[in-house]
Chains A and B, each alone.
Chain A
Amino acid sequence: MTDRVEFRSVTKEYDGNVVVAPLDLSIAAGEFVVLLGPSGSGKTTLLNMIGGFASPSSGRVLIDGQDFTDLPPARRPTATVFQDYALFPHMSLAANVAFGLRMQGMAKPARLAKAEAMLELVGLKGFGKRGVHQLSGGQRQRVALARAMAVEPKVLLLDEPLGALDLALRRQMQEELVRLQKRSGATFVHVTHDQEEAMSIADRIVVVNKGRIEDMGPPDRVYLKPATLFAATFMGESNVLAGRVAAVSSGEIQVETPLGALVVPGSALLASDVHLVLRPEQLQLTPPANGFALGQARVEELSFQGTHCRCHCHMSGQDLVLRAPVSAGLKTGATVTLHAARDDVVVLKA
């Protein structure tokens, strides 16, 4: 089966600045892909190249195996939900949603019926006659979604569509997006710089940095076993230990770190520099099965977070962050022994 969207060694330059380095990416039909990356990393540029609002400096963009690189947005089976909604201010909601259908030449009764159905789908049943100015931000976002989905695009492109909404509404809209995506079977490509949003909605996360793909895969994999240091630190908090490989044996390496020599599963070249990555919740106060002790740490700072205590520790010149259970009753200045499970440690080439 051919992929729904395919980037083939695509690059993009603006006035000599490389914004997208040669990049290959395949997106399957019906997939919910999230492009995650910091500001300026090139997410919007990638999305625009799928939608036809930007053309690559080199390389090809394929949709369903067909070359769409040079076709304008109007001729692509894509639709975009813009961050500022970009609703037509002089039209009713029904006319907004029906606009794409009208451009396709659908007869009036049919397109109005479809618009009404789309509005119902996004929870705005009976709002068709209203104007854009009578809506809240969340409602506008829903209309933008209904308008884009009304033309039944093969690929729906969403550029930080939830950026302007408050937290509660954002959570709710995230769930609705997933529901709509499953229902319509369309491919969603969603851009965000919010890693929690990415994890909660994506089938697959593509971590982008400086126009390159740092890592991609299912959210749990990217979170638990990030492929690069950037992915590890951008997708949530990480403790990073810089070290050098002192010994290599089958399936295990010994790494000299500021905390002493640690033996962890993995492979690396002897004497190469590596980073060991551990998530805050992977540092434990009690020895886990198949774990090892990192050593004694001094508790420097504590903050109560409800479900856990966030705790800054200091150990042999290294700062560590951990999530301690509230029941552990840690106090500032106390000394604790930290443990980690062997399998939790991620070894990354420096």
Chain B
Amino acid sequence: MVGRFASWAYLGIALLFIFLPVLVLIQFSFQGGMAPVPPFDGPSLRWWAKVMANRKITDGLWNSLLVGLGSAFMATVLGFLAAYAMARKRRRLSGLYQFLLMAPITVSYLIIGMGLQIFFNHLGIGKSLWVIGIGHVVINLPLTFAILYSQLGEHQANIERAAYDLGASDARVVLEITVPMLWPSLLAAFFIAATLSWDEFVIAFLLSRFDVTLPVVIWSMLRSGLSPELNAAGTLVFGISILAVALVELLLWRARRNRA
């Protein structure tokens, strides 16, 4: 009985430790006064209205969405193609390819960002949202590849074999069997990549100049001190992330159920 209570208490404290800062951040985005510090004198939507009217923030929001969705789409497509090739067409060097595909996961974002900056500089390509998107594809490809590769097992191969056996061509098997069969995992990979791109700061900071993403906007606003407006912007970032994560959980849960 006591042990049970203790374990619940422990869980409660752990969750509080993780979420209290976030909850405070959210609460003070509804602050009435000028400073995001107690006492709380809200709730008021005044800072939210200010955020929504702030061109820098709304532009950053759109840029982030654009980069997040675009780079996640590319990372998912490329990750799927790589996973499909690795899982279905065994070649002699596939171990090496797999290592090279997964390698970026061990490199820090700072190094990747610097590398890309130098590389694009050499090519004479200026900093832009495109370049940030490419950076995010680089960091997310190992993840989408790993997720999709794990879903292309022997059972799925047998299902594809059944389709070939019934007269389907390569293209039809991929489009009508493999992709629909992996649909939940593809969406999950997409949303994980989109979430990571959405609140990624280092690469976005290093590779942006005029068009910047939301985390970079927030960072530049932070330099001029705290304000409940920043809390509202942060809450926005957090809320959209949570939404995407919930979607991923739902999709993965469905994928697991379908496999059973």
- Do A99 and B155 touch across chains, with their CB atoms under 8 A apart? no
When C-beta atoms are compared, the residue in chain B nearest to A53 turns out to be B161
- Do A79 and B166 touch across chains, with their CB atoms under 8 A apart? yes
Shortest Cβ distance from residue B186 to the other chain A in the assembled complex, whole angstroms: 12
Partner of B164, one of A74, A90, A147: A74
Q: Chain A 184-226, CB within 8 Å of chain B: the 1/0 string?
A: 0000000000000000000000000000000000000000000
When C-beta atoms are compared, the residue in chain B nearest to A52 turns out to be B165
B216-260 at interface with A (beta carbon < 8 Å): 257-260
Which residue, A82, A86, A87, A151, has most C-beta atoms of chain B within 10 A? A86
When C-beta atoms are compared, the residue in chain B nearest to A105 turns out to be B167
- Do A74 and B169 touch across chains, with their CB atoms under 8 A apart? yes
Known contacts A82-B162, A84-B158: does B168 contact A103 (CB below 8 Å)? yes
Taken together as a complex, chains A and B put the C-alpha atoms of A239 and B172 apart, in Å, by 55
Partner of A89, one of B159, B161, B166, B172: B159
- How would you classify the secondary structure of chain B's contact residues: helix, strand, loop or mixed? helix
Shortest Cβ distance from residue A266 to the other chain B in the assembled complex, whole angstroms: 46
Taken together as a complex, chains A and B put the C-alpha atoms of A89 and B163 apart, in Å, by 12
Taken together as a complex, chains A and B put the C-alpha atoms of A27 and B192 apart, in Å, by 54
Taken together as a complex, chains A and B put the C-alpha atoms of A88 and B160 apart, in Å, by 9
In this assembly, does B126 line the interface, its C-beta being within 8 Å of a C-beta of chain A?
no
A83-101 at interface with B (beta carbon < 8 Å): 84, 86-90, 99-100
- Do B162 and A80 touch across chains, with their CB atoms under 8 A apart? yes
Shortest Cβ distance from residue A82 to the other chain B in the assembled complex, whole angstroms: 6
- Do B183 and A104 touch across chains, with their CB atoms under 8 A apart? no
Shortest Cβ distance from residue A36 to the other chain B in the assembled complex, whole angstroms: 23
In this assembly, does A182 line the interface, its C-beta being within 8 Å of a C-beta of chain B?
no
Taken together as a complex, chains A and B put the C-alpha atoms of A321 and B155 apart, in Å, by 43
In this assembly, does A73 line the interface, its C-beta being within 8 Å of a C-beta of chain B?
yes
When C-beta atoms are compared, the residue in chain B nearest to A101 turns out to be B166
Partner of B166, one of A84, A90, A100, A133: A100
Taken together as a complex, chains A and B put the C-alpha atoms of A89 and B176 apart, in Å, by 11
- Do A151 and B167 touch across chains, with their CB atoms under 8 A apart? yes
CB pairs A–B below 8 angstroms (10 shown): A51-B165, A53-B161, A74-B165, A82-B158, A82-B161, A86-B155, A86-B162, A87-B159, A99-B166, A148-B165
Known: A82-B161, A90-B180. 18 other contacts (CB 8 A): A51-B165, A52-B165, A53-B161, A73-B161, A73-B164, A74-B166, A80-B161, A82-B158, A86-B162, A87-B159, A89-B258, A90-B183, A99-B168, A147-B162, A148-B165, A148-B166, A151-B166, A151-B167
* Closest 10 pairs (CB-CB, A-B): A100-B166, A103-B167, A86-B162, A86-B158, A90-B180, A73-B165, A86-B159, A74-B167, A73-B164, A80-B165
